[in-house]
């Protein structure tokens, strides 16, 4: 059985917990560690998990809301950090003498951690070598996509067939256009290497939706340039579902445990 939960999601910190249980063997990985060491432990505890019950930390890219305390947290709890070579280079200033055990992974080369099969794929985003991930216990498949500026055929192909999907709904285009953000920041966020607008997330969802896709989570919502209703509404419209059918990964509250399949 595979399930997932969010410690939190948004520009102030992202962290997703994924668990695969097969009999007595349980594998748990943290996907991004965008909160401080103590805050990460506190949020894990909220989900009933202690740091020493984790098996690894995955880091998508070097932006602070994702890498956060990943190296220090991993070093303290003796966990390996899996990330791309580019992210590893871009975060060299963060690794001290107590550097964590870093394992380099790259797009389209699947690897295993315990009972989890992990397939990284790359995305258009303004980072050195950003990865996003598809994870499976051999039965259920979870697709994760945040921090991407646009939809590409490669990205939608990687997400085909997932049973649960975490999908960035960063901003509403109209709200971003009318916001008080400086022009350069608006252009960065709304650009091809920025973040997914609700309507682009909806377009991606329309291409990967199938009858076995039973959990859809809107993630990485901007506090300033989006609302839960706009994000959930855009995704619900694609599925012919109601707003309540779309889960939201909240910045403060995260998201409680969800089964990937069934």
The residue with tokens 């249980």 is: 21
Are 134 and 142 spatial neighbours (Cβ–Cβ below 8 Å)? yes
Nearer CB in complex with Zn ion: 27/69: 69
Please provide residue 216's backbone torsions phi and psi, each rounded to the nearest 5 degrees.
-125, 125
Q: Which of 3, 28, 43, 63 binds Zn ion (CB under 5 A)?
A: 63
Q: Tokens 């996003």 sit at which residue?
A: 132
**Cα-based angle 190, 64, 152 (whole degrees, multiple of 5):** 40
Tokens of 17: 């917990």
Residue 190: Cβ within 10 Å count: 18
Q: How far is the CB of 126 from Zn ion (least distance, A)?
A: 7
Nearer to Zn ion, 62 or 172 (CB): 62
Per rule CB under 5 A, is residue 129 in the interface with Zn ion? no
Which positions from 71 to 110 touch Zn ion by CB under 5 A, shown as an x/- string?
----------------------------------------
Size of the site for Zn ion (CB under 5 A): 3
Q: For Zn ion, which residue has the nearest CB?
A: 63
- Please identify, among the stretches 59-67, 87-95, 202-210, 243-251, the one whose residues bind Zn ion according to the rule CB under 5 A: 59-67
Is the CB of 4 or the CB of 140 nearer to Zn ion?
A: 4
168 binds Zn ion (CB under 5 A): no
In the bound state with Zn ion, the residue whose beta carbon lies nearer, of 63 and 163, is: 63
Residue 205: burial class (beta carbons within 10 Å; 0-12, 13-18, 19+): buried
Residue where the block lists tokens 């315990």: 114
Stretch that binds Zn ion, among 1-9, 60-68, 72-80, 110-118 (CB under 5 A): 60-68
| Residues within window 217-246 making contact with Zn ion, judged by CB under 5 A | none
147 binds Zn ion (CB under 5 A): yes
Torsion, CA 47, CA 49, CA 50, CA 55, rounded to 10: -130
Q: Tell me the window of 45-53, 57-65, 151-159, 182-190 that interacts with Zn ion (CB under 5 A).
A: 57-65
Name the 3-class secondary structure at 214. Answer: coil
CB of 206 to Zn ion, least distance (A): 23
Q: Where are the strands (E) in the chain, listed by range?
A: 2-8, 15-22, 25-31, 56-58, 80-83, 101-104, 111-113, 116-122, 131-136, 141-145, 164-168, 215-219, 246-248, 255-259
- Shortest Å, Cβ 16 to Zn ion: 12
Among 19, 32, 39, 65, binds Zn ion (CB under 5 A): 65
Site of interaction with Zn ion (CB under 5 A):
63, 65, 147
């Amino acid at each position: 059985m595979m399930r997932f939960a969010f410690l939190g999601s948004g520009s102030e910190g992202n962290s997703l917990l994924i668990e695969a249980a097969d009999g007595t063997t349980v594998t748990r990985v943290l996907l991004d560690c965008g909160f401080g060491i103590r805050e990460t432990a506190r949020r894990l505890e909220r989900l009933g998990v202690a740091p020493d019950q984790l098996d690894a930390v995955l880091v998508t890219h070097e932006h602070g809301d994702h890498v956060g305390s990943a190296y220090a947290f991993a070093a303290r709890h003796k966990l390996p950090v899996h990330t791309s070579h580019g992210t590893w280079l871009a975060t060299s200033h963060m690794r001290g003498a107590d550097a964590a055990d870093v394992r380099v992974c790259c797009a389209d080369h699947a690897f295993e951690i315990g009972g989890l099969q992990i397939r990284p794929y790359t995305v258009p985003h303004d980072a050195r070598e950003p990865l996003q991930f598809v994870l499976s216990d051999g039965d259920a498949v979870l697709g994760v996509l945040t921090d991407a500026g646009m939809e590409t055929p490669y990205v939608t192909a990687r997400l085909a067939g997932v049973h649960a999907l975490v999908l960035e709904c960063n901003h509403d285009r109209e709200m971003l256009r009318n916001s008080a953000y400086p022009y350069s920041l608006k252009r960065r966020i709304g650009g091809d290497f920025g973040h997914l607008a609700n309507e682009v997330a909806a377009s991606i969802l329309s291409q990967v939706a199938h009858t076995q896709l039973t959990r859809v989570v809107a993630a990485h919502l901007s506090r300033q340039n989006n609302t839960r209703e706009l994000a959930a509404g855009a995704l619900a419209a694609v599925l012919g579902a109601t707003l309540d059918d779309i889960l939201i990964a909240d910045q403060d509250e995260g998201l409680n445990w969800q089964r990937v399949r069934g």
